[in-house]
Amino acid sequence: MNENVIETIAAQILKRIGTGRTDKSHPILIEASARHVHLTTDAIETLFGAGAALGKKRDLSQPGEFLAEQRVKIVTPAGELPNVAVLGPLRKNIQVELSATDCRTLRLNPPVNVSGDLRGAADCFIIGDRGVVDAKGSVIIARAHVHLRPEEAEAFGLAGVAAARVEVKSGRPLVFDNIIVRVSENYAPAVHIDFDEANACMLDANSKAFLLAGRASADASSVTAPSAPERRETSPRVYGERLITEASAREIIASLEGDTVFVGRGTIVTPSASDIFSSARKTVRRDRQGE
């Protein structure tokens, strides 16, 4: 499912919800967040040039939050995700929110954290029109959560409760357990899940979500990270720059003696650069020194 579809679904669900409530459960807006990044002032200037600021494309459901005009590419040694959304406003720390599926593709092993909690967060590179940011400790899988104002938390029996359950009635109905409850005067009521979760319940325009009263069955802190990705083979170093792109791969091949390209342990070779090397029948090897 893509972003436009989600946008439409969110609007349609919002219309259907109305204000009706039942005794046992409460309909609530549910939105699927696409993979996205939050940037700092420094990062936006590095990525898009000195003096660059976020342009607003459209507002999001939470007051003050918006989708920016800018897009970035997320890169790791194992893969890249083009055209990734940037959300505003700017923050104090860079935060990259990916799905577990994205993390398999990129061979990252980040924790499932509440937004803002970067403990254990994984590393990636962020590429913009004008530059690259080495975003260490920035990647998390965002924990599903519900935004409520204090009066709604009270009405739903969730005041002071860490986590709740959300039932999605859809083509593949599902009850999400252990949904973090976030309460603030500044919120608009909404459940936020990621694309893996949206696809798991086949969220669409006919889907309805209900916030179930009472506690979640699991502890709010008990989340297990996905299994560790495999380590890559490494060997002696020649090209130690931090990023080898398609263009630099062509330059390397032009001056290369032999069929092996030795790269630094931390050097990122983009998948398009890898393709250039393999079509030129060059083997990329990693430096093992310094480990």
- Residues in contact with Zn ion by CB under 5 A are 192
Helix axes 271-279, 246-255, angle to 10 degrees: 30
Q: In angstroms, what CA-CA distances link 261 with 215, 238, 291?
A: 56, 7, 19
- C-beta of 36 vs 192, nearer to Zn ion: 192
Smallest distance, Zn ion to C-beta of residue 147, A: 6
Nearer Cβ to Zn ion, position 43 or 60? 60
Question: Of the two residues 62 and 260, which places its CB atom closer to Zn ion in the complex?
Answer: 62
For residue 46, the minimal CB distance to Zn ion (Å) is 26
Least distance from Zn ion to the Cβ atom of residue 156, Å: 17
Smallest distance, Zn ion to C-beta of residue 128, A: 24
CB of 182 to Zn ion, least distance (A): 7
Q: Of the two residues 26 and 145, which places its CB atom closer to Zn ion in the complex? A: 145
What minimum distance in Å lies between the beta carbon of 61 and Zn ion?
8
**What are the b/e assignments for 46-84, b being 16+ CB within 10 Å?**
bbbeeebebeeeeebebeeebbbebebbbbbbbbbbeeb
Nearest partner of 43 among 52, 33, 34, 32, judged by Cα: 52
DSSP assignment of 46-89 equals HHH-TT--PPEEEE-SSTT-EEEEEEEEEEETTEEEEEEEEEES
The single-letter DSSP state of residue 97 is E
Q: Which is nearer to Zn ion, 165 or 192 (CB)?
A: 192
- For Zn ion, the closer CB: 26 or 38: 38
Cα separation, 123 vs 113, whole angstroms: 15
CA gap 200, 203 in Å, rounded: 8
Q: Scanning the structure block, which residue is given the tokens 């931090």? A: 242
Task: Tell me the residue nearest to Zn ion as measured from the CB.
Answer: 192
